[in-house]
Amino acid sequence: MRILLLTHRLPYAPNRGDRLRAWHLLRHLAGEHEITLVSLVHDREEASHVGELASLAHETITAHVPYLGNRVRAGFALATDRPLTHVLLDSPALLPVLQRIVEERPPDVVLAYCSSMARFAVDRPLDSIPLVIDMVDADSAKWADLARIARPPLRWIYGREARLLGRFEAAAMRRARVTLVVNDREREALAASAPGANVVVLPNGVDLARFAPPKGTADALHGSSPGIVFCGVMNYPPNEAGAVWLAREVWPLVRQSEPAATLWLVGAQPTRTVKTLCATGLGIEVTGAVDDVRPYLWNAAVSAAPLHTARGVQNKVLEAIAAGLPAVVTQVVWDGLPRQAHPACRVAQTPGEFADAILTLVRMTPTERRALANAAGLSSLGWETTLAPLKALLQEAGRCNIPPPC
């Protein structure tokens, strides 16, 4: 079967949430199907990784996103009914590419990754080809969550995006053969806006072998200087807000009882606000981009996910647990996690609760913490297992060569 996979970022390197699932989708389908991958790229560094995908995709085509031009167009789009997501994630090179693919080697099915790429699949030249959308999570709900906590004018902008993107999501799901999401919370949010749409949960997984801690690390986990780690792309607003809250509200309470503890904020593109957190004198390290997060996980005592706005599944928590760490998470993070991960997590909302939960885990022995992490049943969450239904879903969709109803 010929599959056209559309992604809003090149799915390599798989070092951030919006690349990770796309990377595993591609790996899962490669070999049995002919994949044409069309990806938006945002800078030269991202585009330089095209060669890394040569063994997986029959053809990989990139379309550059004009950063400044799209932001100017987004300003004008505020006076229209077009979602800003569709303006900001756009490239003038994309439509000619899609036209050429349809003319030369038409796909049997289109797999569009996220709502930002689904918009290309519902219009010409792809509108007559069977469509599967991997929404991952409900983008419109994310913007609604952000609107509730933002101040004007962002509150109005985020609310507008939630409304317009939600309208598009509903129309796209009605057009698609099947819409994929990562958990029941996202399925319920999206299905409510498009009754009758076929919305299926296809969970995220975790690379258990890759994150498994090296033998012996359980005995060397910072007994005298415990490390607490929070991983994430640090210019993503919910991650930035979580890092600031953790460092300013929670961390001083931890250090009162554990003055030798260290907080690692690990992730690319830290904002100026995040960078200043290391100047507190309270043992906070802001790493910026790192080649590999695993050494930080393997040498920490506890993982933290202090997000107060979150959709989908926080992969960072699954990876931390797979690396042998228990995690302290907020309720909204807990609600998105697979139930198998819950035994390794402690839920906390207020600064005092979050600090107490960290301290309780820090005061365990390394072996006790490892045992708590191992209590999570992650063996059923390998990517090959969680993505197993995908091939049958695509094959079923590809049997129809006209838009619904089939």
Compute how many other C-beta atoms are within 10 angstroms of the C-beta atom of residue 404: 13
- What distances in angstroms separate CA 87 from CA 66, 95, 155, 175, 373, one per listed residue? 10, 14, 19, 21, 42
Judge: domain 2-202+387-398, CATH 1.20.1530.20. Answer: no
Q: What is the pLDDT of residue 203?
A: 97
Within 13 A of 365's CA, how many CA atoms are on the CB side? 4
Q: Is the per-residue pLDDT at 224 higher than 90?
A: no
Alpha-carbon gap, residue 374 to 221, rounded angstroms: 16
Alpha-carbon gap, residue 301 to 366, rounded angstroms: 7
Q: Do domains 2-202+387-398 and 208-380 have the same CATH topology?
A: yes
From 131, 125, 95, select the one nearest 110 (Cα to Cα). Answer: 131
Region 301-316: mean pLDDT is: 96
Q: For all residues of the chain together, what is the average pLDDT? A: 94
Q: What is the pLDDT of residue 213?
A: 93
Region 112-140: mean pLDDT is: 97
Region 178-187: mean pLDDT is: 97
Q: Is the per-residue pLDDT at 164 higher than 90?
A: yes
Q: Is the per-residue pLDDT at 218 higher than 90?
A: no
Q: What residue segments make up the domains of the chain, in order of their start? A: 2-202+387-398, 208-380
From the candidate CATH numbers 3.40.50.2000, 3.40.50.150, 3.30.565.10, 3.30.70.100, the one assigned to the domain spanning 208-380: 3.40.50.2000
Q: What is the pLDDT of residue 404?
A: 53
Q: Is the per-residue pLDDT at 91 higher than 80?
A: yes
Region 13-42: mean pLDDT is: 94
Tell me the whole-structure pTM to 2 decimals: 0.93
Q: Is the per-residue pLDDT at 23 higher than 90?
A: yes
Query: Which burial class, exposed, middle or buried, applies to 235 when counting CB atoms under 10 A from its CB (0-12, 13-18, 19+)?
Result: middle
Within 13 A of 85's CA, how many CA atoms are on the CB side? 25
Structure tokens at 227: 């490390």
Percent of the chain with pLDDT over 70: 96
From 257, 219, 275, select the one nearest 357 (Cα to Cα). Answer: 257
Alpha-carbon gap, residue 234 to 247, rounded angstroms: 13
Region 345-362: mean pLDDT is: 98
pLDDT in tens, 320-334: 999 999 999 999 999
Structure tokens at 157: 């902008």
Q: Is the per-residue pLDDT at 277 higher than 90?
A: yes
SS3 40: strand
